[in-house]
């Protein structure tokens, strides 16, 4: 142990600087900083301000605090939320040990909460998706942003892109000849090329010809694909609000906005016979297990197969059921006469 132990605040700042040097994304850094600041503020309220006061007992108390904490609506923190906050602390503990700021990792004894693999919260049927897509009014008072909105909705529905991935698209990322999109720096900072349907491409092409030139700033012909009415690149929050507005107007009580179309894309592809590994590539999942959750939600196709193949799946027609009852009565009568 060093002779002069730094404060928790100083150690956390050094840890975040280390992560920044390793190339972690700004979003990940912001998330880690927030989680660790929550812990630091909680620890300081209990008199633990120095790094050497970060003990396994204090970590255990923090974990109990998270499990008992209630949000503003009175609901407990979800297991995934607890696990995410504890993961940031666990990474901090490992860094402490590597840097030899303490004799041992004070977070090493932490046992992470178990989490399940919940089904996606919602998805749209093909008919519901078409209802949402038809809502932007190209003949209304604001045809320019309406055309942009239609192109956005079509792209989300066709590709299943994450909202961050869509906001990062640039004009050159659209390959009209090849019918594909170049997705740059997706989750895990991975690039990938995915197909986009002819219809979505047609709407994007119309948007680029008739709408984007009126929205984008001069000289920004190769910039962000989708822009605001002020010509700035579309942000994640702006995109979420835009998609949520259309889903709400359609009358569907569905949560998730952009992710709703991601779930819809995956579910409908599987229902119509897509191989799960192809869906994995489309969504950019690093692990097949993440994609497999959609095999549980595409129940409609399974029901059709079950009804067509299981001999006991359907009720017998009324006339057939009546004949079966008559046959049973006749059999019982014959058995009775024989025994008599």
Domain spans of the chain, in order of start: 8-99, 126-302
Q: Is 162 a catalytic residue?
A: yes
pLDDT at position 299? 60
23 pLDDT exceeds 90? no
pLDDT at position 114? 79
Rounded to whole angstroms, how far apart are CA atoms 90 and 15? 12
CB 286: neighbour CB atoms within 10 A? 12
Chain center to CA of 163: 9
pLDDT at position 84? 92
Summary mean pLDDT of the chain: 85
pLDDT at position 285? 77
Q: Is 246 a catalytic residue?
A: no
Name the catalytic one among 157, 207, 246, 294: 294
Q: Is 296 a catalytic residue?
A: no
Name the catalytic one among 20, 94, 187, 192: 187
Name the catalytic one among 32, 168, 212, 285: 285
Mean pLDDT for the stretch of residues 216-244: 90
Mean pLDDT for the stretch of residues 140-153: 92
Name the catalytic one among 15, 150, 162, 254: 162
The CATH code for residues 8-99 is 1.10.150
What is residue 286's DSSP assignment? S
Rounded to whole angstroms, how far apart are CA atoms 325 and 248? 52
In the chain, the N- to C-terminal Cα span, in Å, equals 99
- Among the listed ranges 252-261, 292-301, 316-325, which one has the minimum average pLDDT value? 316-325
What is residue 171's DSSP assignment? G
Q: Is 294 a catalytic residue?
A: yes
Domain 126-302 has CATH 1.10.443.10: yes
Residue 1: pLDDT band (50, 70, 90) is very low
pLDDT at position 190? 76
Q: Is 238 a catalytic residue?
A: no
**Percent of residues, the chain, with pLDDT higher than 90:** 54
Mean pLDDT for the stretch of residues 250-264: 82
From residue 58, alpha-carbon distances to 32, 77, 82 in Å are: 19, 19, 16
Helix (H, G, I), strand (E, B) or coil at 226: coil
Q: What pLDDT digit, counting tens, does each position of 271-310 carry? A: 888 888 888 888 887 777 666 666 665 566 667 777 888 8
- Among the listed ranges 4-18, 136-150, 191-205, 321-335, which one has the minimum average pLDDT value? 321-335
Whether the Cβ atoms of residue 36 and residue 15 lie closer than 8 Å to each other: yes
Name the catalytic one among 35, 150, 163, 262: 262
Q: What pLDDT digit, counting tens, does each position of 35-82 carry? A: 999 999 999 999 999 999 999 999 999 999 999 999 888 889 888 889
Q: Is 262 a catalytic residue?
A: yes
Residue 336: pLDDT band (50, 70, 90) is low
**Percent of residues, the chain, with pLDDT higher than 70:** 83
Query: Is 126-302 the same fold as 8-99?
Result: no
Statement: the pTM of the whole predicted model exceeds 0.75: no
From residue 326, alpha-carbon distances to 51, 107, 171, 315 in Å are: 85, 74, 73, 17
Name the catalytic one among 32, 35, 150, 259: 259
pLDDT at position 340? 41
338 pLDDT exceeds 60? no
């Amino acid at each position: 142990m060093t002779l002069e132990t730094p404060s928790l605040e100083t150690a956390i700042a050094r840890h975040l600087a280390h992560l920044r040097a390793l190339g972690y994304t700004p979003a990940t850094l912001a998330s880690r900083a927030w989680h660790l600041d929550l812990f630091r503020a909680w620890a300081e309220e209990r008199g633990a301000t120095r790094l050497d006061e970060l003990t396994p007992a204090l970590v255990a108390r923090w974990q109990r605090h998270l499990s008992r904490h209630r949000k503003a609506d009175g609901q407990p923190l979800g297991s995934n939320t607890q696990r995410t906050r504890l993961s940031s602390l666990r990474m901090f503990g490992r860094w402490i040990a590597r840097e030899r700021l303490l004799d041992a990792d004070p977070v090493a004894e932490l046992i992470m909460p178990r989490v399940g693999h919940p089904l996606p919260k919602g998805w749209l049927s093909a008919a519901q998706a078409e209802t949402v897509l038809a809502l932007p009014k190209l003949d209304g008072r604001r045809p320019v942003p309406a055309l942009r909105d239609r192109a956005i909705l079509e792209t989300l529905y066709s590709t299943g892109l994450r909202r961050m991935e869509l906001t990062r698209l640039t004009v050159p990322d659209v390959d009209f000849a090849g019918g594909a999109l170049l997705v740059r720096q997706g989750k895990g900072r991975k690039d990938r090329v995915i197909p986009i349907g002819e219809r979505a491409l047609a709407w994007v092409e119309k948007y680029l010809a008739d709408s984007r030139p009126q929205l984008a700033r001069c000289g920004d012909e190769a910039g962000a694909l989708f822009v605001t009415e002020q010509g700035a690149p579309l942000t994640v929050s702006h995109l979420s609000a835009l998609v949520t507005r259309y889903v709400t107007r359609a009358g569907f009580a569905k949560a998730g906005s952009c992710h709703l179309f991601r779930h819809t894309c995956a579910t409908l592809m599987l229902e119509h016979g897509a191989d799960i590994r192809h869906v994995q590539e489309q969504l950019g999942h690093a692990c097949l297990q993440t994609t497999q959750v959609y095999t549980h939600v595409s129940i409609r196709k399974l029901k059709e197969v079950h009804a067509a193949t299981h001999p006991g799946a359907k009720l017998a027609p009324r006339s057939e059921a009546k004949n079966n009852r008559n046959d049973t009565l006749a059999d019982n009568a014959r058995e009775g006469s024989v025994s008599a």
